[in-house]
Amino acid sequence: MAEIRWIARPKGSVKMTAVAPTESVRKTAGRLLGSSSKHSYDPELDIDWDAPVDGVYGDLKFMPYERTSLYGTGLWDRMTDPQRRELSRQELASVASTGLWFELILIQMLSRWAYHQDPQDPRTQYALTEIGDETRHIIMFTKSIAKLGTPTYRPRALIHHLARIYQATAAGPALFAPVLVAEEITDRLQREMVNDESVHPLVRMVNRIHVVEEARHVRFAREEVARQMASIGPIAKVVSNTASAIVAAFVATSMISPDVYKEVGLDPHEAIRAARNNPNYHETRRWMAEKIMAFLQEQGMVTWYSKPIYGLAHLI
- Residue 23: predicted pLDDT: 63
- Residue 7: predicted pLDDT: 40
Sign of the four-CA dihedral 210, 215, 221, 226: positive
Return the C-alpha torsion angle 191, 194, 195, 197, nearest 10: 140
The CA distance from 16 to 117, in Å, is 12
Return the C-alpha torsion angle 179, 184, 186, 192, nearest 10: 170
Its CATH class, for the domain covering 21-312, is mainly alpha
Q: Is 89 exposed, middle or buried (0-12, 13-18, 19+ CB in 10 A)?
A: buried
Residues of the chain below pLDDT 50: 1-20
3-state secondary structure of 112: helix
- Residue 18: predicted pLDDT: 35
- Residue 216: predicted pLDDT: 84
